Chains A and B, each alone.
Chain A
Amino acid sequence: MTGRHRLDPPFGRHIDRERPVRFHFEGRRYEGLAGDTVASALWANGMRVLARSFKYHRPRGPRSFAGAEADTLVQLPGRPNIPADGLPITEGLEVTAQNCAGGLERDRGARLARFARFMPVGFYYKAFYRPSGAWDWWEKTFRRMTGLGRVDPDTPHAGHDKQYLFADVAVIGGGLAGMSAALAAADSGADVLLVDDQPGLGGAMAYTGRQGEAAALAGEVAARVEIRVLAPASCSGWFADHWLAVVAGRRLYKVRAKATVVATGAIEQPMVFANNDLPGVLLGSGAQRLIHLYGVRPGTRAVVVTGNDQGYAVAADLAAAGVEVAALADLRGAGDRPPVPDGARVHAGHTVVEALPLAGNWGVAAAVLAPVIAQGQAGTPLPPVDCDLVVTSVGVMPAAHLLCHSGMRLGYDDDLAMLTLGDLPDGLFAAGKVANSFDPAAVAAEAKRIGWQAAAHAGHKTGRMPRAPKDPGAAGINHPFPYFPQPQGHDFVDLDEDQQTADIANALADGFDHVELLKRYTTIGMGPSQGRHSQLATLRLVAHAKGCQPAEVGLTTLRPPAVPETMGVLAGRGFEPERLTQLHHRHLDAGAQMMPAGVWWRPAYYAAPDRRDEAIREEALAIRRRVGLIDVSTLGGIEVRGPDAAEFLERIYTFAYARQPVGRSRYVLMCDQTGAIVDDGVACRLAERHFYVTATTTGADGVYRQMLWWNAQWRLSVDIANVTAAYCGINIAGPKSRAVLAPLVPGLELSGEAFPYMGVREAEVAGIPCRILRVGFVGELGYELHAPAGCGEALWDALMAAGQAAGIRPVGIEAQRILRLEKGHIIVGQDTDSLTFPQEADMAWAIARKKPFFVGGRSIEILAARPLTRKLVGFTLLAHAPMPQECELVIQGTGIVGRVTSVARSPVLGRIIGLAYVAPDDAAPGRTIHLKVSGRYVEAEVVALPFYDPDNTRQSL
């Protein structure tokens, strides 16, 4: 049994009667047909209630069958807030209702409705805050009551991806207007992307008895190679320059179009009367979708309430589907109206004022009609009419969300009682009902013209612009005020948020008379459907209450997304850059623990984690006593070449480079315009006009960017290239490094005289062409070898083999940090902060005084002329003292004067050493400073830097 209320063909365009599908809702088993949504299949089985409402926990069901109301949101395993009227059923699907405690039928939350009188608009602002701290308790209760679905903490993020698409013309909406526009654009030779959110093209034609037309047009579209159709897919956002987000299942298409045609149609709007939220109160288009798309008879006995001629078509469809139309109330007075189904009693000039509920508000039992006596007012009610359906047809608002994303503001036309479009940016077009065009012939013709224009905008101008006949207009579509507030309430304006007409009136009385304030105070329009069914009513009700025109009230902004997007679809697979050096696998083979350094991974130390401290100590001592290898490939490498290369470095860095000899390297220190230190490294002069500059691992990209940025202004004749990835770097350091290296560089004299400290040479090492830098970051004799990246492993292997007898070993970053600390070298970013300038870090020596300009120079001059407020110094502690941690504070008196920036137990010195910012009057060696270590004060002694080898004899051997 696939539902008691199934209709025979031709009804049921989407369903496949041969393929029953079983699923569960609230633990009960149901059977539907392939092509059904959860909502249509349940309705076919007589189940109209899908959810409990946000505030009062009233039973709610679908009204539009278009997938846009909070009242149809259901829970799937691991997936909250899924619109049941947009969710196709699949075999074995487990669906449960949301926002109900103890099941949909016995929701304990429904008791809240009894206290509705005590919960006026914005009630949570009016109480719960006294005594102090009371809200902490209340909030927990509130949080349990609010919220709809549940997040399953075990939900994986998987299976999402993204794809770029390009089109001359993107057409959003595959109804009459969209298909016509797409065909016209294709006729002009444009590549067209047609996006539609339904399983088949056709738009409103598919459920208004024009399936034949729809199929014919869809056939034409399918036959065109220029048109690519994405369906079902939802365009959720229009961003600047026709950048569109289109969601299809678990894929996000990012579409760049040259022009966009929005043909998204119109959203039918509900009426306001008492109990207008009951399951069984349907929009006309909702009833029609149920009948035509899903082949489901909406009910047995209906009362139709209409403010336009469309309501008569709905009544006819209901009758054709076997629903008895008991009465048709026309809000308008007597006039020339379309025919009504046999047996339907027409009440001209009448409205519905109340739907009488079944027990527990589970559905509709009857409708109460009454004569309309003035705008929003009804007279003496007629006797109730028994029915299980109340179907309304009172007008629409344009589905203009995508247009609004461009910054367009909706207006209001008082004569038509319709929202109207404003100015659109170049290349963005609107066609069909979204543009308030309703006559099919006019829509088709106008859409062809717009398709032609869009193609022309995209550079495909063919022939003459098609002519469009005059549009007969949209008069009679919208009733200006189909709202009949009732003293007993339950006359809902925003069903997502359970806001009623009295809430609007009361909010206005509380002074919230600007629409934005009203929205924020009442939360109207802030629920999952984002005002789709409440914005127009609110606008009119506010205008009515204030005695002004709706156009003067204005609307709140419609923001992206136009339809909900999940976080997963936006995230996609997530591409987080990750860089590995050429030697990465050598490190892993050697048992390294890797650590992140910016986007890179670097070896921290080479041992199991439980041997960490021991390994670091051994590695540090290896370099002090024998020889070690450090992977320095992550250091930035930047080539600066050209006639102005030296001049460029003079301006970028603080030091002097104009007279730097070829074959020598020199320290570089970069400051920003405020004089703060931002990076350091060395500049190697490889030729008169060629420098090879290093930068820190995490600073390299910023340095390169800064260089380009500055030279865009200076226009010096230099070429700047970031070659970090092109080179692999290995530092071989330690007293035995020369002996290990020598046999590998037969062509190069390595003696201290021939290749002194700070020298730079280019030579082959083990047959691999290298730039060899004699530098001393770790304070021992050492050579940095920069080789082509592809040769990294070969070079590493050659060095390890050559050093085997000397006891060579790989050395990680942690040991390097200790070694450089022993030498008093700073790490930019660790020993400096965003305000540190060179004098504070005792680096005045790195500033060339005579050059006319360098970045930050003027600031440094001003800063240097003032008394220092802090200074970076070395300090030492006795070996048994408690070990301070980096960033613990230096206290003078009771005030903070600085912090420990680096600290370690020196293996070679046998004591705790560190760098810290101290007060200038405590900066002299021998002074005692006070560190706050784990909350207790510890004395430390300021000592001169460097801690190790103060005469620098070892590095310049």
Chain B
Amino acid sequence: MPLGLLKYGLARRYPASRHFPIRPPLKDGYDVVIIGGGGHGLAAAWHLAHDHGVTDVAVLDKGYLGGGNTARNTAIIRSNYLTPEGVAFYARSMDLWRDLSARLRINILYSQRGHLTLAHTDAAVRTMRWRAEVNKHLDVDSQLIWPDEIARLAPTMSLSRSVRYPVLAALYHPPGAIARHDAVAWGYARAAARKGVELHPQTEVTGLLTSPDGSRITGVETTRGTVRAHRVLQAVAGYSGQVAGMAGLKLPIRSIPLQACVSQPLKPFLDPIIVSGSLHIYISQSARGEFVMGGASDPYPLYSTRSTLDFKEGLFAHMLELFPALSEVPIMRQWAGITDMTPDFSPVMGPTPLEGYYIDAGWGTWGFKATPVCGETMAHTVATGRPHPLIESFALSRFARFDQVGEKGAASVGQ
């Protein structure tokens, strides 16, 4: 029995400790307003307060905290990317993830399972080797492995040669992990609030205020009134285009639904995280025993989080090629999130042409794993007014300059 639980068993009354302070009245103004109370916004708030001493911060969200894509993603964490910029960025995130439970004093159930990206074609084997070589050169633990080794790591997966797309090889990334996504948002929220950051759920931003010449942000309009702000950070994932539109920014982003689903809980069956780009599936088994699964993005842009039947049919037709034994496993729940897809599969981060307005967007299907490093780098960027070195290549202006950071080859989700 861990010591941390003793007080609960021994106390006469439950020793409650509020994760979120009771929502305060909205002040007239703040130094920094963060639009979006998901993992990214909350992490940025905490890093602003913790790293830079900026505590006059309000985090606004139209719903409940952590209720957008933080609540909807499948919580896979990895750094086996394809570009040196991407690898450096996500590798820093992995460093932060490993200590996050202790730093935030909440068990985020960070579970290093190992991550296997399967290759079913020659072309995929080449891409996996490319990623492995880039990773190794940049000291990320990643290697190309063959079916005998795959069988050792995932003994319940079918490696039959007589299926439509036999498994030829895999990119093996031992540090690949999963975590309890909700706890990440709660942890950052509590830690930020303890530093003086104000949390304002159910507070939707309806407009932005700028200086008379339109060059500088001066505040935001919300459903609870107008708030002045010296600096504003938007971190709203699927709604990035709409919010940036209020700031007069046109983003090279398409909002596309991505669905996922979860099975009923079962005894341990699968340890590693399995991804197959060719079959458009990914699967892991949570600590509760549920299989958490996803597949290809929906084939068209949409601002709706409705579920579809086709998604499940396609997902499981492919899933059962790899895991025929899951045929009788009941599916419990499906849902959708809206992903903000960039053309080069890298994020859009940093200052914008509107002075004092910062953006953290373009998170597509790879946002959760970046939560800690986004918090750190965006806080640095907002606090200093200069992009953090790790995110310089993710500037919005790269598209006009034709300096894309091509990460399509490292995407797990089929597009």
Contacts and interface: CB of A to CB of B under 8 A. Distances in A.
B137 A143 contact: no
Given A517-B64, A887-B133, A830 B126 contact: yes
B59 to A, nearest CB: 15
Interface string B13-46: 0101111111000000000000000000000000
B171 to A, nearest CB: 11
Interface string A107-127: 000000001011110011111
Given A157-B324, A835-B406, A115 B319 contact: no
B325 A118 contact: no
B344 A125 contact: no
A886 B124 CA distance: 12
B123 A829 contact: yes
Contact of B328 (A78, A118, A891): A78
Contact of B71 (A151, A154, A520, A521): A520
A933 to B, nearest CB: 10
A835 B398 CA distance: 13
Given A80-B266, A834-B409, 14 more contacts: A80-B264, A118-B6, A127-B5, A135-B107, A157-B324, A240-B308, A516-B71, A564-B331, A568-B320, A571-B317, A571-B319, A574-B318, A574-B320, A596-B121
Residue of A118, A119, A158 with highest tally of chain B CB at under 10 A = A118
B332 A143 contact: no
A148 B306 contact: no
A862 interface: yes
Contacts of A572: 313, 317
A838 B98 CA distance: 43
A156 B109 CA distance: 33
Interface stretch (A32-40, A170-178, A507-515, A761-769): A507-515
A896 interface: yes
A250 B84 CA distance: 49
B216 to A, nearest CB: 30
A104 B357 CA distance: 61
A517 B202 CA distance: 13
A139 B109 contact: yes
Closest 7 CB pairs of A and B: A147-B289, A127-B4, A509-B16, A568-B327, A564-B330, A129-B101, A511-B18
Contacts of A138: 2
A237 B306 CA distance: 12
Given A139-B109, A889-B137, A156 B324 contact: yes
A132 interface: yes
A129 B334 contact: no
A405 B121 CA distance: 38
Interface in B89-122: 98-99, 101-102, 106-112, 120-122
A155 B325 contact: yes
A502 to B, nearest CB: 7
A254 B313 CA distance: 11
Contact of A571 (B65, B289, B313, B334): B313
Given A560-B334, A568-B327, A139 B111 contact: yes
A489 to B, nearest CB: 12
A886 B6 contact: no
A888 interface: yes
A566 interface: yes
B165 A81 contact: no
A702 B343 CA distance: 17
B15 to A, nearest CB: 9
A644 to B, nearest CB: 29
A596 B84 CA distance: 31
Contacts of A932: 133, 137
B56 interface: no
Interface in B69-98: 71, 84, 98
20 contacts: A117-B8, A119-B5, A123-B8, A125-B183, A138-B2, A139-B109, A139-B111, A147-B266, A153-B325, A154-B325, A155-B326, A157-B327, A505-B14, A514-B201, A528-B332, A567-B326, A597-B121, A833-B406, A862-B402, A866-B402
Given A81-B266, A240-B306, A565 B107 contact: no
Contacts of B122: 595
A54 B137 contact: no
B146 interface: no
A512 B67 CA distance: 13
A841 to B, nearest CB: 15
Interface of A: 54, 73, 78-81, 115, 117-120, 123-130, 132, 134-136, 138-139, 142-144, 146-158, 160, 237, 239-240, 243, 245, 252, 254, 405, 407, 502, 505-506, 509-512, 514, 516-517, 520-521, 523, 527-528, 530, 559-561, 564-568, 570-572, 574-576, 578, 595-597, 674-675, 698, 829-830, 833-835, 859, 862-863, 866, 885-889, 891, 895-896, 899, 932, 935
Nearest to A672: B343
Nearest to B164: A576
Contact of A132 (B98, B137, B333, B334): B98
Contacts of A155: 324-328
Given A511-B21, A888-B133, A932-B133, A126 B102 contact: no
A509 B17 CA distance: 7
Given A120-B8, A863-B402, A509 B14 contact: yes
A564 B9 CA distance: 37
B64 A516 contact: yes
A887 B129 contact: yes
